[in-house]
Amino acid sequence: MLMSETAPVKAQDTPIDELARICGQVRRDIVRMTHGAQSGHPGGSLGCTEFMVALYFRILQHDPAQWDMDGRGQDLFFLSNGHISPVWYSVLARSGYFPIKELATFRKLDSRLQGHPTTHEGLPGVRMASGSLGQGLSVAIGAALAKRLNGDDRLVYSLHGDGELQEGQIWEAAMFAAARKVENLIATVDWNGRQIDGDVDDVMPLGDLKAKWASFGWDVLEMNGNDLADVLRTMGNAHGRTGKGRPVVVLMHTEMGQGVDFMMGTHKWHGVAPNDEQAARALAQLPETLGDY
């Protein structure tokens, strides 16, 4: 091996109290972005904040400065439930993929921060369009297969909504990944129990979700997605279970709207932006930690 070869990309070693500080700022970003656009999806974004911050500031072996589409030698992440773009854009910007001030353009004309994520505008960090649900697991599997063919031992992560699991393509993909022993993949599910029309159990119950994934041949873990310590512990466990002939899925219990009291305990903030008064009330609960964009 040549000495001049680039050093392997590593994960950041952000301490947990710093992760918590970042979460506070990301939540402010989510509220301010959806308020600024007067549209977007704050509920699921707030609920996935701990997971996404832990992923980008601790778990992923990635280097925003070396971003390219293929991502060889780096872990890849695919957001399948693209409507929670606010939390993704915030962690991408705050971890260095693009200027933080660009968050102000969310959902506005001529922005790279489209309502749902896309590669079309060339936003660094995004490798696949998502929004039409149920497609991201298949894409993540394909990317994992490419890594296998390339002899690249880094991992592929994906995130899915629980309502999204009602899409049939998810289960086509689940069957395929187990059959083809896609062992370099960790899928995660935002199991908040709510979707746009109401509670998942009322709209279209998922049944025994853990048993479903297990019966499809996946290694299944559960965690509290709003508890940073549990997220770090369980994702570390998931990492240790890769490379053993089975895909891994982490079912993540979260609270939609976590961190903003009036957005919690309901499905109503799935896809509704706060007005001026609501945004002020939300931001009063979320002290600025890293500086607003």
Partner 1 sequence: MPTFSVRAHKDTRSGFGAGLLALGEANNEVVALCADLTGSLKMDAFAQKFPDRFFQCGVAEANMMGVAAGLTIGGKIPFTGTFANFSTGRVYDQIRQSIAYTGKNVKICASHAGLTLGEDGATHQILEDIGLMRMLPGMTVVVPADHDQTRQATLAIAEIDGPVYLRFGRPKWPVFIPEDLPFTIGKAQTLVQGKDVSIFACGHLVWQALQAAEMLAQKGVHAEVINMHTIKPLDVEAVLGSVGRTGCAVSCEEHNRYGGLGDSIAQVLALHAPRPQEFVAVNDTFGESGTPDQLLIKYGLAPSDIVSAAERAIRRKG
Contact positions vs partner 1 (CB under 8 A): 69-72, 76, 118-120, 127-132, 134-147, 149-150, 152, 168-169, 172-173, 175-176, 179-180
Closest approach of partner 1 to the CB of residue 40, in Å: 19
Closest approach of partner 1 to the CB of residue 135, in Å: 5
The Cα 267–Cα 254 span in angstroms is: 13
Q: Are strands 219-224 and 248-253 parallel, antiparallel or unpaired?
A: parallel
Closest approach of partner 1 to the CB of residue 67, in Å: 12
Q: Which is nearer to partner 1, 137 or 186 (CB)?
A: 137
Q: Which is nearer to partner 1, 87 or 137 (CB)?
A: 137
Q: Are 158 and 188 in contact (CB under 8 A)?
A: yes
The Cα 171–Cα 141 span in angstroms is: 12
∠ at Cα 155 (241, 185), nearest 5°?
A: 60
Distance between first and last Cα of the chain: 43
Q: Which is nearer to partner 1, 149 or 284 (CB)?
A: 149
Q: Which is nearer to partner 1, 103 or 174 (CB)?
A: 174
Read out DSSP for 238-258? Answer: HHHTTTSSS-EEEEEE--TTT
Helix (H) or strand (E) holding 161: strand 156-161
Closest approach of partner 1 to the CB of residue 219, in Å: 20
Closest approach of partner 1 to the CB of residue 199, in Å: 26
C-alpha dihedral sign at 269, 272, 274, 278: negative
Give helix then strand counts, H and E, for the chain: 10, 7
Q: Which is nearer to partner 1, 186 or 228 (CB)?
A: 186
Q: Are 34 and 86 in contact (CB under 8 A)?
A: yes
Q: Are 101 and 182 in contact (CB under 8 A)?
A: no
Q: Which amino acid is at 267?
A: H
Q: Which amino acid is at 86?
A: P
Closest approach of partner 1 to the CB of residue 82, in Å: 9
Closest approach of partner 1 to the CB of residue 289, in Å: 33
Q: Which is nearer to partner 1, 76 or 228 (CB)?
A: 76
The Cα 74–Cα 154 span in angstroms is: 6
Q: Which is nearer to partner 1, 175 or 280 (CB)?
A: 175
